[in-house]
A = this chain, B = another copy of it.
Amino acid sequence: MKDMHSLLQHQFSELTKLARKFNCFYLTGLNKGICKPFIVGGHQVGLIRPDVMKHLQRFPEVFIVTGKFVELNPAFRGYKERTSKVADVLQTLRKENEICALKGWRDECFEVSTPLYHESLLEMDRSAICLFGIRNYGVSVNGYLTHPTKGLCIWLQQRSLTKQTWPGKWDCFVSGGLAVGYGILETAIKEAAEEASVVGELVKKLIPSGCVSFFFESERGLFPNTEYVYDLELPFDFIPQNADGEVETFELLTAEECIQRALSPQFKTTSAPVLLDFLIRKGYINPENEPHYRHIVELLHVPLQSIYNSPCTDITTNGDGK
C-alpha cells in the first residue's frame, strides 16, 4: 500500500498533496497499528505513540499500559480526581524537560470528553493534548471581501515570532482553541476581538459555516483536530489591529495568492484545511479546476468520530479494559 502511495504521489495535484500532508496520520500512521488506544472511563478518548508510552509506563499507579491499550486508572472517580492525577504526572515529566510538547506548557486547560455525548471526563494542559492524541477543538474565522477588480480577497495573519507553536508562520485571519469554560461562538467572538479588534456591529456578522476535521502528526504528537469555521465579510476600509501581542502582522491577499501562501512552507499546516474549505465553499477551487476535488473534500472531513468510536476499538479494549 505504501509503495503504491509513494509511486502515485507525483500524480496528485499540489492541493491534494497539501490535504494529504495535514492528514499524514490519517493516511499512514493510523494503519501502522503502533499507537495504542487511550481509555478513560471506558471510552477511547485518544491514541498514544510508543515514544510517549515509554514515559507513561513509569507511572503504573496512574496509567495502566497493557498489550492492547493504555488506560487511566479506573479507580479514579470523577473529573477532579482524574484531572489532578494526570496533572501530577505531567508536572513531573515537564520538570524532566525531555518531552518536546511539554516545553510549550500553556497554563490553559483543554477538556477531554466522551466521543458521542461530550460528557466531561477530565481536563489537561493544552500542550499535553497531542501526547495522548486527544481530539482537539478550535474555531477559525475567514475574514474576506469581494474586491471590485481583484475578486475574492482574504485577510491572513502572520503568527507572532514568540508564539509557542508555529511561530512566524502564516495562518487564517483569526483562530483559537476551545478552552475549558468557553462556548464555540463565544470563543470565535473572543478571538476575533483579541487577535484582530473585530468588535461591535462587525462581530455580529460572523456566520457559522461548518467544520473541518483532519488527523495530523508532527514530532510533538498527534493532532485529531476539528475546527469550527466562521465566515466574516469585512468592509473594504477595515484594517485588522492585533490587541493581544500574538500576531506579527496581517495581509490582504487575492484567492490565488492565498493558495500559493498555503502551499508554501511559511504556512501553518494545520490551518490549511480551513482555508481550502473556504475556497471550495466560495467556488474558487471547483470540480472544473481541481482533478481531485472530491478527494480533497473528503480529506477536509475525515471520520474522527468513527475512528475513536469504532466497533473494533470496543472489541479490543472493553473486554479487559473495565
Binding site for B on A (CB under 8 A): 1, 8, 11, 31, 116-117, 183-185, 207-211, 213, 226, 228, 277, 280-283, 286-288, 293-295, 297-298, 300-306, 311, 314
Contact = CB atoms under 8 A, between A and B. Distances in A.
A167 to B, nearest CB: 29
Nearest to A210: B280
Given A303-B302, A305-B298, A209 B311 contact: no
B293 A298 contact: no
B294 A211 contact: yes
A252 to B, nearest CB: 22
A213 B288 contact: no
Report how many copies the assembly holds: 2
Nearest to A230: B283
Contact of A281 (B116, B210, B303): B210
Contacts of A298: 213, 301, 303-306
A295 B305 contact: yes
Contact of A283 (B11, B31, B117, B207): B207
Contact of A31 (B11, B31, B277, B311): B311
A1 B314 contact: yes
30 contacts: A8-B117, A11-B117, A31-B311, A183-B288, A184-B288, A185-B287, A207-B283, A208-B286, A208-B287, A208-B288, A209-B280, A209-B281, A209-B282, A209-B283, A210-B277, A210-B280, A211-B287, A211-B293, A211-B294, A213-B294, A213-B298, A226-B294, A281-B281, A294-B305, A295-B305, A298-B303, A298-B304, A298-B305, A300-B301, A302-B303
